[in-house]
Amino acid sequence: MSLISCQGISKIYKMGEVEIKALNNVSVEISKSQSISFIGPSGSGKTTMLNLFGVLDKPTSGTLKVIGTDISKLNYVERAKFRGEHLGFIFQNFNLIPVLTVYENVEYPLIMVKSIPPKERKEKVLSLLDAVGMLDQKDKLINQISGGQKQRVAIARSLTTDPKIVLADEPTANLDHESAYKVMSLMKRLSREIGTTFIFSTHDPKIVKEVDITYTIEDGVLVNREERNN
Amino acid sequence: MNNIIKIAFRNLYRQKRRSFLTMGIVAFGVLAVLLFSATAGSFKNFMISEITDSMLGHIQIHAKGYVSSLDNLPLDKTIKAKQIKEMEKILDEIPEIESYTYRILLGGMVSNYLESTSAKFSAIIPAKETKVAPLLEERLLKGEFLKKGEILLPEMITKGFDSKIGDDIVLVATNADGSVNGQPLKISGIMESVVGPTGKYGYIHFDDAKSILRMNETEISEVAIRLKNFNDLEKVNSILNEKLAAIKNKKDQPFFEIHTWEKLSPFYNIAKMIDMMSMFIKIILIGIVLVSIMNVMIMAVYERTKEIGAISAMGTLPSKIRLMFLFEGLFLGVFGSVIGVVASLIAIFIVNISNITVAFGRNSNILLQPEVSFSQIVMTALIVILVAIVAVLEPAFKASKLEPIEALRQN
C-alpha cells in the first residue's frame, strides 16, 4: 500500500478576486521508507505539496490519501489528531519553543500530543537526543544552542511520536554548509534505522543527492521524476 | 495537565517585565478595592453604631402615623397602656431581642428665667435606655447622667443660655388636651449633639414627662429595641411586623408601625452611597483586570502565532492550546490577586497603627479602623480570577483556531 497516494490533485488559492493555481492535476504515489524531495523554483508549489501531505491543508480537487485516509473528509480537530499520530514536521525556522529546554522541546509532542508514561517518555527522549548527538546539551535553552543544533533538536522532536512520515520544509535553508551536511546525514541515517519516510521540499542540491526520489515541480505541475540508488 | 501548567507558567516568565506589570496593575486594583472597602466599611460601621447605640436603637415601634408627623412630636398618636401590655407580651417572646425601652418625645419651651427657647426632648427611663443605647452616656460632655427631677440639655442650648451644671431651668410643654404645664428641672449634664433624627434632643426623666404632660396612665411615643445580633435586623423586623399586625386600632387597621434604624436615619442613604461607591470601585477593578489581561494575552497570541502554528502542526489539539492560554490568564489573575491581597493587608495594618481620624458632621474624631473580612478577600480575589479567565477567553479561542499554515507563514 502506498503511504501517500494522490490522484489529480489541484490546489487553488483565492487572493481577493484573483485565483492562484498552486498545484495543477498532480498525481504521486509514495511508498514506505523512501526519502523523497520536491525541488523547484520559489512559488512552484513544493511547499503547498508538503502542506497537503502534512494534512495541514486540503486539496481543492482530486483525491489525496495519506496512510490510507482521505484527508478531505477530516475536520479541523481530526486533522490535528491525525498529524499527531502519524506525522512529524521539521521547519525551516526550526520553530522550537524558546521557553523550554532542549530536552523539554523533544519531550513536548509526547506530552501534548501522545500520552506516554513518564518513564517510557524519558527513555525515548534521551535515546532520540543521543541519536541526534544532543544529549550533552539537553538542559540548555533553545537560545543557547547554534542553528545546526536547533535543527538536530527539531529532527529529534519530529521523531518522538514514531511518525510514519516526516515532512521537512527547506530543513537546511538556514544552516551553513557544514551544519547542513551533518543534518542531512543524520536524517538519512535515521530514515534507514527507524524506517520513517522523509519528504523534503528544497532548493539544496546536497539534499537532492541524498534522497531516493526527486520530483521537480514547475508552476504547480510535476515535470520530472528522478530515482537514485543511494 | 501539569505540563501544560508548566509551559503556561514559563510563557509568562519569558515576558517577565510585561507579566509583572500586568500582575502589578491587577494587584493595584485589588489593593484599591480592599483598602477602600475596609476603610469605608469602618467609617460606615462606626456611624451606624454611633446612630443606633447612642440614640435610635436598632428597631423602633410607634403608633401608626407617628413617624410621618415626627416633626410635630404629636401627643395624640401615642401608644396607650392597653397596647403597651399586648406589645410587651410579644416583645418578651422574641429571643433575638436583647432589651427594649419606652420613650415619650415632646416639644417644649425651656427657660433659665432670663431667656427662653424651644427645644425637643426625649423622656427616658435611664436604666433601660442605657441598655438599648449604650453609647448615650458617652455623649455626655459634662455632668452626670439623668435622674428624676433633672434634665440633660443639648450643648447648643447651654451655650446660648450660658448655663452650668446644677443650674435650674423650667420646661414648659403642652399636653395632648392642649393644657400647658411647666416644671423646674436641674441641669445634670450637657449632651453632645450627633447626626440623626433625635441627635439634638435634650433628655428628661420618663416620670417627669408624665407629670409635665399630666398623664394619668402610661403613654409612650416610641419603643426602642436593641437586638442581641445586629445581623438579625431583618428577621426580627419581619417577626414584629407579622405579630404586631394582629393588634388593631379602631379602624381595624394595624395599630403599630415598625421601623428599622435604616428607615429612621438619613445616614442610611450615606451608608448606601458608600456601598455603591464600593461597587463602582469593584466595577473599575473588573475593567482594569479585563483590559490589562486581555491586552497582554492578545499580544501574546500575536507574538507567538508562528509557535502556535508549529505546535498545532505537530498535532496539538485546539483544546490544549486553549487551555495553555487560559492558564496564562489564570496565573496573571491569581498572582495579581495574591500580591494585591498581601499589599492590602499591609496597607490596612499601616492605617490601623497610624490612628488616622476623620471628621463627619460635628464628630471630628472618627478613628479609622479598617478591617477586611476573609469573605471579602475571597470574593474580591474570585472576581479578579473570574474576570481574568473571561479576559483570556477570546485570545485563547483565537489561538486554538489558528490555521497552522497561516500561523507558520507569519513573520
**CATH of residue A36:** 3.40.50.300
Q: Does residue B42 lie within any of the structural domains?
A: yes
Q: What percentage of residues in chain B have a pLDDT greater than 90?
A: 45
CA distance B37 to chain A (A): 40
| Residue span of the structural domain in which A96 resides | 4-227
B254, B286, B309 - which closes a domain: B254
B230 and B183 share a domain?
A: yes
Q: Is A113 on the interface with B (CB under 8 A)?
A: yes
B10, B316, B408 ranked by CB distance to A100: nearest: B10
pLDDT at B170: 93
Query: Which residues from chain B sit within 8 angstroms of residue A85, using beta carbons?
Result: 315
B126 and B39 share a domain?
A: no
What's the whole-number mean pLDDT along residues B98-123? 92
Inform me whether the pLDDT recorded for B362 exceeds 60. Answer: no
Cβ-defined contact of B312 to A85 (cutoff 8 Å): no
Which chain B residue has its CA at the smallest distance from A52's CA?
A: B405
Q: What percentage of residues in chain B have a pLDDT greater than 70?
A: 97
What's the whole-number mean pLDDT along residues B188-212? 85
HSE (side-chain half, CA atoms, 13 Å) at B320:
24
Query: Which residues from chain A sit within 8 angstroms of residue B311, using beta carbons?
Result: 97, 108, 112
Inform me whether the pLDDT recorded for B361 exceeds 70. Answer: no
B275 and B208 share a domain?
A: no
Query: Which residues from chain B sit within 8 angstroms of residue A92, using beta carbons?
Result: none
Query: Which residues from chain A sit within 8 angstroms of residue B309, using beta carbons?
Result: 95
B174 and B118 share a domain?
A: yes
Which chain A residue has its CA at the smallest distance from B307's CA?
A: A95
B15 and B124 share a domain?
A: no
Cβ-defined contact of A89 to B317 (cutoff 8 Å): no
A40: helix, strand or coil: coil
Q: Identify the DSSP state of A135.
A: G
pLDDT at B161: 87
Inform me whether the pLDDT recorded for B183 exceeds 60. Answer: yes
Inform me whether the pLDDT recorded for B366 exceeds 80. Answer: no
Q: Which of A222-226, B40-44, B263-267, B323-327 has the lowest mean pLDDT?
A: B263-267
Cβ-defined contact of B313 to A109 (cutoff 8 Å): no
B301 and B391 share a domain?
A: yes
B212 and B90 share a domain?
A: yes
Residue ranges in chain A modelled with pLDDT below 50: none
HSE (side-chain half, CA atoms, 13 Å) at B317:
14
Q: Tell me: the pLDDT tens digits for B10-63?
A: 888 878 888 999 999 999 999 998 999 898 888 888 888 878 888 889 999 999
Average pLDDT, chain B: 88
B282 and B243 share a domain?
A: no
What's the whole-number mean pLDDT along residues B152-174? 90
Cβ-defined contact of B315 to A111 (cutoff 8 Å): no
B74 and B110 share a domain?
A: yes
pLDDT at A1: 65
Q: Does residue B344 lie within any of the structural domains?
A: yes
Q: Does residue B187 lie within any of the structural domains?
A: yes
Tell me which of B325 and A174 has the higher pLDDT: B325
Q: Is A181 on the interface with B (CB under 8 A)?
A: no
Instruction: Return the residue in A15, A56, A164 with the most chain B beta carbons within 10 A, the one to mutate for interface testing.
Output: A56
pLDDT category at B365 given cuts 50, 70, 90 is confident
Inform me whether the pLDDT recorded for B78 exceeds 80. Answer: yes
B10, B318, B401 ranked by CB distance to A99: nearest: B10
pLDDT at B375: 92
B234 and B372 share a domain?
A: no
Say how many domains are in chain A.
1
B305 and B211 share a domain?
A: no
pLDDT category at B251 given cuts 50, 70, 90 is confident
| Residue span of the structural domain in which B127 resides | 65-254
pLDDT at B238: 93
Q: Does residue B56 lie within any of the structural domains?
A: no
pLDDT category at B159 given cuts 50, 70, 90 is confident
B309, B314, B403 ranked by CB distance to A83: nearest: B314
pLDDT at B363: 64
Q: Does residue B261 lie within any of the structural domains?
A: no
Which chain A residue has its CA at the smallest distance from B16's CA?
A: A99
Inform me whether the pLDDT recorded for B359 exceeds 80. Answer: no
- From the number of C-beta atoms within 10 Å of its C-beta (0-12, 13-18, 19+), residue B267 rates as buried
Say how many domains are in chain B.
2
- Beta carbon pairs, A and B, within 8 Å: 74
Q: Tell me: the pLDDT tens digits for B373-401?
A: 899 999 999 998 999 999 999 999 999 98
Which chain A residue has its CA at the smallest distance from B305's CA?
A: A95
B254, B288, B303 - which closes a domain: B254
